[in-house]
Amino acid sequence: MLIARALLVLACFFFALYAWGRRRDPRMVRNGVFLTMALGTCVLLGLTLLASTGPAGETLVAFILLLIPLTVVALSIALIANGLVMLRREGRSLGNLLSLMMGVLVPGLPLGLLRIAGYHTIPYPWNVCIRALSLLVVLVVVYLSVAFVSFAVYSVVYGRTPRVQCPSAIVILGSGLINGKVPPLLRSRLDRALDIYRNSDCADDRPLLVPSGGQGADEDRAEGQAMAEYLVEHDADPRDVQPETKSANTWENINFSAEIISQHNRSDQCFVVTNNYHVLRAASLTRKAGVKAIVVGSATAKYFVPSAFIREFVAIISQHRWLNALACSPFIALTAFALWESLQQR
């Protein structure tokens, strides 16, 4: 039972790190890594204890492990189906192709690596180099898979965090206009902000509403202005609406809106409203900008979520690219060592 005890200690360690991270700042993306590692260790602990109960337990563990490749196949089929739906409803763009591409890569990459590594006709030393490269790809893919699961799990957990009932300001992030009008995706954010605005339990002042978004190259007016009109049309007091109309991306949304909030002395407790798939990245950006904020998610059409989550994950990886490169450096060192050892043994 030494392994079980070690797993228990490891699980407690990761849960402690998660609790510390949540207390320090719930917006830290690394909290998701701590939580996922803790939950994953608990699963391994459960399987270890189950296998130790006897033949019946070992059989059940074997059955559970057999479900893993079946789950991967099911996930691949679901992603491909979702990708086809995205193409039909949203058009052909790289962002809309993400779930389809992921659905093909999930089974295709490991099968392709196995096929390449199994070739016996490749001459030495290229066969050794290809196998070493395959090992590196596998290690990086495992790392990215754990990172994606951590991102997805913590996005859900953070999105369900209890909120204060009296925000001093509510920032609504823009997402683009269609023919100068508010499209459904952006409307869901505005409706969520209005719901918070109407139900805020503020004794003195109502929250300040800051619809944030500049004018895109293909737009005839600023998003912030169109969003402000929508809010007023749906019974928000015009005196409570202060649009931000200069920003071109989420980082500028947050910083320019923070300036408006500061000018109105409403910086003590801010809400930022976006779609649920965008919550964690927006939260990490508010933290980076030094803005005291809680990010709230609005509902998104289910078919849109997989590609959107993948896109947000890619953006998070890019945002922390040097940290991720550093995390992958041991894989490069391990692969180089394995390659060197293989060449030396020849």
Interaxial angle between packed helices 305-319 and 321-345, expressed in degrees from 0 to 180 and rounded to the nearest 10: 80
List domains and CATH numbers for the chain.
91-162+304-346 (no CATH), 169-300 (3.40.50.620)
- Which pLDDT belongs to residue 117? 66
- Which pLDDT belongs to residue 204? 67
Q: Provide DSSP, 66-135.
A: HHHHHHHHHHHHHHHHHHHHHHHHH-S-TGGGHHHHHHHHHHHHHHHHHHHHT-S-SPTTHHHHHHHHHH
Tens-digit pLDDT profile for residues 208-223: 999 999 988 777 889 9
Select from 100, 32, 11 the least CA-distant residue to 320.
32
Strand-pairing partners, residue 181, are: 178
Tens-digit pLDDT profile for residues 226-275: 999 999 999 899 999 999 999 999 999 999 999 999 999 888 789 999 99
- Which pLDDT belongs to residue 203? 61
Interaxial angle between packed helices 55-90 and 305-319, expressed in degrees from 0 to 180 and rounded to the nearest 10: 100
**Residue 176 pLDDT > 80, yes or no?**
yes
**Residue 200 pLDDT > 90, yes or no?**
no
**Backbone phi, psi, residue 324, to 5°:** -70, -35
Cβ–Cβ under 8 Å, residues 180 and 221: yes
**Centroid of chain to Cα 52:** 36
Within 10 Å of residue 26's Cβ, how many Cβ atoms? 16
**Residue 68 pLDDT > 90, yes or no?**
no
